[in-house]
Structure 1
Amino acid sequence: MIYKKFSSEKKLNTPEQQRFWQSVEQSHFSRKDGVNIAYCQVLQPDTKQAIVISNGRVESYIKYQELIFDLFQQGYSIFALDHRGQGLSDRLTQQPHQGYVGKFEDYIDDFSHFIEHIVQPTNHHSLSIMAHSMGGAIATHYLHKHPTIFDSAVLSAPMFGIALPFNTKMVLWLAKRLDKTSAITVEGKVTSNYVLGGTDYNPAPFISNYLTHSKHRYEHYRECYKKHPQLQLGSPTNHWLIEAINAAESCAELAKSSPTPILILQASEDTIVTNQSQDNALSAQCHKVVIQGAYHEVFIESDKLRNKALSHAINFIKQHSKTAET
C-alpha cells in the first residue's frame, strides 16, 4: 500500500522539492587511499527505517533528487553515495571524464565503509538497499559479504551482465590487449584509455536515447549535468570494462544464494544490461518484477512505468522490514 503519490514528470524540481533539498546534508568521507567519497543523507525525525541508494555508472545522488524526495515522503530516512571516480567523488584518472576503477572491489569496500561509519551509527532498526545497474552489482557483492545488515534489497536493472557487441570472452581479450592503464602519478591519478569508440561526456539527444521514455526527466537530467559540469562522465575505460565484466559474472549466483530478500526491477526494453543474466539469479529469495516497456533507467522513466516500479519497491521493502514484524 502506498500512502503518498509519487512526483510527476510534468512537475520537476518543484518549490516543495527545492525546500526539501535544503534539509539534505551533503558531505564526504576519505578512504585509506586518499580518495574522497561524496554522500548525502536526510533523516526522518522519528522513523526506524532507512533506505541506502547505490547508483549506477556515471550517476550521482544529485541526479536522484526526485527519487530521494519521493522515498522520504514515504517515511524513510535516505542515504546515498557517489561511487569513486564519478559524481561528486574524487576522479581517479588524469582525464576526469574517463570511467575508471582500479579494482571493482574498491566500490564494495567504499560502500562497506559508508554503511559501517555513516549509516549504522544512526541506529535505524531496519535498513534496505535500493540500487541501480552498476550499483546493483556493488550491492549484490556487499550483501554476499554482509548478509545480516539489510532486511531487503531492490535492484533496478542490475548489472549482472553487460550488453556487449560480441562474445564476452572476445571483448575481455580485446580490452586486456588495449588497456593502457599506467601506474599512479605523483598527483595521485592514473592514466588510462577509453574503450574502442569511447569519448568524453557527450549527451545524446532525447530522440536517440535508450535510457528513458520520459522527455521531461531525460532533459532535466541532462540540464542538471550541464549546470554541474563536475558531474559529467564519459565512456568507460578498458580497465573498467575488464573489472566490471568479471564482477558482473558472479552476481547472478550471489543473488540466487543470498539470504537477503532481493527484488529485481527488470526493464523489458533494456539494451544496457542483459535480462537473461538477471533471470539466472531468481530463487526463493530473489524475485523479479518486469516493468513492461521500460528502458534501462527505471527511476527516471515516464510516470506510469516509474510509479509501477516504485510501488513494487516500497511494498517489497515494507513486507520485509523488521518493524513490519513487530
Structure 2
Amino acid sequence: MSHFTLCSEDNLASKYVTAIQPFWQETVQHGNFDGVEEPGEMEKVAIAYAYALHPQALGAVVISSGRIESLIKYKEVVYDFYQNGYSVFIHDHRGQGLSGRMLDNSQIGYVGNFSEYVADFKKFIDEVVTEKTPHKPKLLCHSMGGTIGALTVLRYPELFEKVALCAPMFGIRPPLPDWLANLLLNLHASINKKNTYFFGQKNYDNQPFVSNELTHSEIRYQLFRQEYQAAPQLQLGGVSGHWLKMAAQAMNEVEQYVHRFPIPALVIQAGADQVVDNKRQSRVVAKMANSKLMVIEGAKHELLEEQDKFRIICLTAILNFFR
C-alpha cells in the first residue's frame, strides 16, 4: 500500500519489545530546558524533549503533540520517521508528559496562556533543533499540537518548511454556541478558582479499549496505556476552566489569521472524530492560505495511533508531502 517503511499492527507487540524499545534506549537522546518564564510564576517550568539524529538524514521532522500526550507515547511514530530517513525532534508541552506541572494537583490540565506553549516551542527550535540539524525542519502536529503549531507558524513564519496537521484542534466537541460556551466558562470562573477542573472533568482515568473515542487499534491503545501505567508521572486528567478559556481564545486567533498562513500545510481530518469539531475544522481550513484538506473516512481522532488501514493512508500522505 505504500513504498515507505511503516510498523504494522500484525507484529507490533513483539516489534515494540525487540526493535522500538531498544531504538528508544540506544538512539534517542533526552534532555530538558527551562520553559519561558511567565510573570507571576513561582518557579521555572522544565520542558522535557527527545530527539533521534539520523546519520544520513533526508531532513528533520519536529512533532507537536496533543493534550495529555507525551513523547513516550510517540515511540512508534518517531521510529517510523527515523526508518524513513528523518532526524526527529519532540518535546512535551508544559503541564503534561515529562515536563513540569504548574499546579498542586498535577493532574489538572492547565496553562496560563497558549502563548506560553508557543514561546516554549520557539525556544525548543532555537536551542535544540537548529543546534542539532542543518535541515530546515518540517512540522508534524496532532490535535492541540495543531493549535500550538499553527500559532507558532503564524508568529514565526521562517521556522518551518511545511506543516502536516493531523486532526488539528481548531474546534472542540461538543461544539456549543458561543453564548452558551461563554456563559458556562464565566459561571465556572465565578464559583471556582482558575486552577480547578471544569464541570465534569476529573483525574486520569484508564478507560478500557471498548469505550475509548481515540482509536480503533487495540494494540496501539494498549501500548499507550501500558506506558502511562508504568510511568504514572505522565498521567493527566481533564481540563481546568482556565485552560478551556485559553483554548477558545487560541482557536479564535488561529481562525482569525489563518488566511495569511505562510507555508504549505496538509490538514488530515479524521472522518469519525469525536474529540475535535470537524465542521469548524473544515471551515478554518477553507480560509487557510497554502492548505490542502484530506479526509480519512471512518478514522477516529488519533490518526497516528489508528488501525493500519487508516494510519498507513495518513503517514503515506505525510511522508509524500514532506518529500
Please report the TM-score for the alignment, with normalisation by the length of structure 1: 0.91
Structure 2 Cα separation of the partners of residues 276 and 79 of structure 1: 31
Counterpart code for 2:207: A
Counterpart code for 1:76: Y
Structure 1 Cα separation of the partners of residues 59 and 132 of structure 2: 10
Give how far 1:264 is off. 0.6
- Aligned match of 2:242 in 221, 232, 239? 239
Which segments of structure 1 move beyond 3 Å, counting only runs of 4 or more?
A: 1-4, 252-256
- Aligned match of 1:67 in 74, 77, 83? 77
Give how far 1:125 is off. 2.5
Which structure carries more helix by proportion?
Answer: 2
- Aligned match of 1:163 in 170, 173, 178? 173
Structure 1 Cα separation of the partners of residues 225 and 134 of structure 2: 34
Q: Comparing 279-288 with 240-249, which one deviates more in the overlay?
A: 279-288
1:315 aligns with: 320
2:2 maps to 1:5? no
Contact 1:51 1:128 in 2 (8 A): yes
Give how far 1:257 is off. 2.2
Aligned residue pairs, count? 309
> For 1:62, what is the secondary structure of its paired residue?
helix
2:121 aligns with: 111
**Cα distance 1:121–1:157, how it changes in 2: closer, same or farther (>3 A)?**
same
* Superposed counterparts of 1:220-259, under 5 Å: 220-259=223-262
> For 1:250, what is the secondary structure of its paired residue?
helix
2:184 maps to 1:181? no
Structure 1 Cα separation of the partners of residues 68 and 148 of structure 2: 14
- Aligned match of 1:209 in 203, 207, 212? 212
Contact 2:36 2:119 in 1 (8 A): no
Map Cα deviations across residues 227-284 of structure 1 (whole Å, 9 max, x no partner): 1111000000000000001101232343342121011110001111111222222355
Structure 2 Cα separation of the partners of residues 181 and 124 of structure 1: 46
Counterpart code for 2:177: N
1:324 aligns with: none
2:29 aligns with: 25
> For 1:126, what is the secondary structure of its paired residue?
coil
Give how far 1:124 is off. 2.4
Q: Which runs of 5+ in 1 are unaligned?
A: 183-191, 319-326
1:89 aligns with: 99
Give how far 1:176 is off. 2.7
Counterpart code for 1:28: N
2:310 aligns with: 305
Counterpart code for 2:6: F
Give how far 1:205 is off. 1.3
2:47 maps to 1:37? yes
2:112 aligns with: 102
Map Cα deviations across residues 42-84 of structure 1 (whole Å, 9 max, x no partner): 1011325100000000000100000000010010000000000
Structure 2 Cα separation of the partners of residues 251 and 157 of structure 1: 15
Counterpart code for 1:261: P
Counterpart code for 1:156: C
Structure 2 Cα separation of the partners of residues 244 and 115 of structure 1: 23
Counterpart code for 1:82: D
Structure 2 Cα separation of the partners of residues 173 and 73 of structure 1: 49
Give how far 1:177 is off. 2.6
* Superposed counterparts of 1:112-151, under 5 Å: 112-151=122-161
Contact 1:140 1:254 in 2 (8 A): no
> For 2:294, what is the secondary structure of its paired residue?
strand
Structure 1 Cα separation of the partners of residues 289 and 181 of structure 2: 33
Contact 1:252 1:278 in 2 (8 A): no
